[in-house]
Chains A and B, each alone.
Chain A
Amino acid sequence: MFHTKTLAELSQLLTSGEVSSVELTQAFLQRIKQLDTDLNSFITVTEDQALAQAQAADDTIKAGTAGLLTGIPFAHKDIFCTRDIKTSCGSKMLDNFISPYDATVVEKMSQAGMVMLGKTNMDEFAMGSSNETSYYGPVKNPWNTQSVPGGSSGGSAASVAARLTPAATGTDTGGSIRQPASLCGITGLKPTYGRVSRYGMIAFASSLDQAGPMAQSAEDCALLLNAMAGFDRRDSTSIKKDVPDYTADLNKDLNGLKIGLPKEYFDTGLDAGVAEVIDQAIQQYKDMGAEIIEISLPNTHLAVPVYYVVAPAECSSNLSRFDGVRFGYRCEDPRDLEDLYKRSRGEAFGAEVKRRIMVGTYALSAGYYDAYYLKAQQLRRMISDDFTKAFETVDVIMGPSSPGTAFKIGEKTSDPVSMYLSDIYTIAVNLAGLPGISIPAGFSNNMPVGLQIIANSFEESRLLNVAHQYQQTTEWHRQIPDAFI
Chain B
Amino acid sequence: MSLKADDVKKIAHLARLNINESDIDDYATNLSSILDLVEQMNSIDTSNVTPMAHPQDLAQRLRPDEVLEENQRERFQKIAPATENGLYLVPKVIE
- State whether the Cβ of A52 lies closer than 8 Å to any Cβ in chain B: no
Q: CA of A337 to CA of B54 in the docked complex: distance in angstroms? A: 35
Q: Would you call B16 and A379 a contact (CB within 8 A)? A: no
Tell me what chain B mostly uses at the interface: helix, strand, loop, or mixed.
Answer: loop
- State whether the Cβ of B38 lies closer than 8 Å to any Cβ in chain A: yes
Q: Would you call A301 and B40 a contact (CB within 8 A)? A: yes
Contact of B91 among A98, A336, A375 (CB under 8 A): A336
Q: Nearest chain-B residue to A323 (Cβ)? A: B16
- State whether the Cβ of A57 lies closer than 8 Å to any Cβ in chain B: no
Q: Would you call A417 and B37 a contact (CB within 8 A)? A: yes
Contact of A100 among B16, B37, B72 (CB under 8 A): B72
Tell me what chain A mostly uses at the interface: helix, strand, loop, or mixed.
Answer: helix
Report how many A-B pairs have Cβ atoms within 8 Å. 165
Q: Would you call B38 and A372 a contact (CB within 8 A)? A: yes
Contact of B93 among A207, A330, A337, A346 (CB under 8 A): A337
Q: Residues of A contacting B44 with CB < 8 Å?
A: 299, 302, 379, 382
Q: Would you call A236 and B92 a contact (CB within 8 A)? A: no
Q: Would you call B55 and A305 a contact (CB within 8 A)? A: no
Q: Residues of B contacting A309 with CB < 8 Å?
A: 38, 41
Q: Residues of B contacting A382 with CB < 8 Å?
A: 44, 46, 49
B31 shortest CB reach to chain A, Å: 6
Q: Residues of A contacting B90 with CB < 8 Å?
A: 325, 337, 340
Q: Residues of B contacting A380 with CB < 8 Å?
A: 51-52
Question: Which residues 232-277 in A have Cβ within 8 Å of B in the complex?
Answer: 233, 236-237, 239
Given A340-B91, A358-B27, A194 contacting B56 (CB threshold 8 A): yes
- State whether the Cβ of A361 lies closer than 8 Å to any Cβ in chain B: yes
B46 shortest CB reach to chain A, Å: 4
Chain B 54-95 near chain A by CB (<8 Å), digits 1 or 0: 111010110100000000100110111110000010111100
- State whether the Cβ of A297 lies closer than 8 Å to any Cβ in chain B: no
Q: Nearest chain-A residue to B81 (Cβ)? A: A330
Question: Which residues 8-38 in B have Cβ within 8 Å of A in the complex?
Answer: 8, 11-20, 23, 27, 30-31, 33-38
Q: Would you call B80 and A325 a contact (CB within 8 A)? A: yes
Q: Would you call A316 and B51 a contact (CB within 8 A)? A: no
Contact of B50 among A343, A361, A381, A432 (CB under 8 A): A381
Q: Residues of A contacting B40 with CB < 8 Å?
A: 301-302, 305
Contact of A346 among B17, B38, B41, B56 (CB under 8 A): B17
Q: Would you call A308 and B88 a contact (CB within 8 A)? A: no
Q: CA of A233 to CA of B64 in the docked complex: distance in angstroms? A: 12
Q: Residues of B contacting A98 with CB < 8 Å?
A: 79
Q: Would you call A239 and B56 a contact (CB within 8 A)? A: yes
Q: Residues of B contacting A330 with CB < 8 Å?
A: 81-82
Q: Would you call A374 and B81 a contact (CB within 8 A)? A: no
Q: Residues of A contacting B54 with CB < 8 Å?
A: 193, 207, 237, 433
B45 shortest CB reach to chain A, Å: 10
- State whether the Cβ of A339 lies closer than 8 Å to any Cβ in chain B: yes
Q: Would you call B11 and A384 a contact (CB within 8 A)? A: no
Q: Residues of A contacting B35 with CB < 8 Å?
A: 359, 362
Q: CA of A306 to CA of B43 in the docked complex: distance in angstroms? A: 12
Q: Would you call B37 and A304 a contact (CB within 8 A)? A: yes
Q: Would you call B50 and A433 a contact (CB within 8 A)? A: no
Instruction: List 20 additional contacts besides A207-B55, A382-B49, A416-B34; criterion CB under 8 Å.
Output: A100-B78, A239-B56, A316-B15, A326-B80, A327-B79, A330-B82, A336-B93, A341-B16, A346-B17, A358-B8, A358-B12, A361-B11, A362-B35, A375-B41, A379-B41, A381-B51, A384-B52, A417-B34, A417-B36, A431-B55
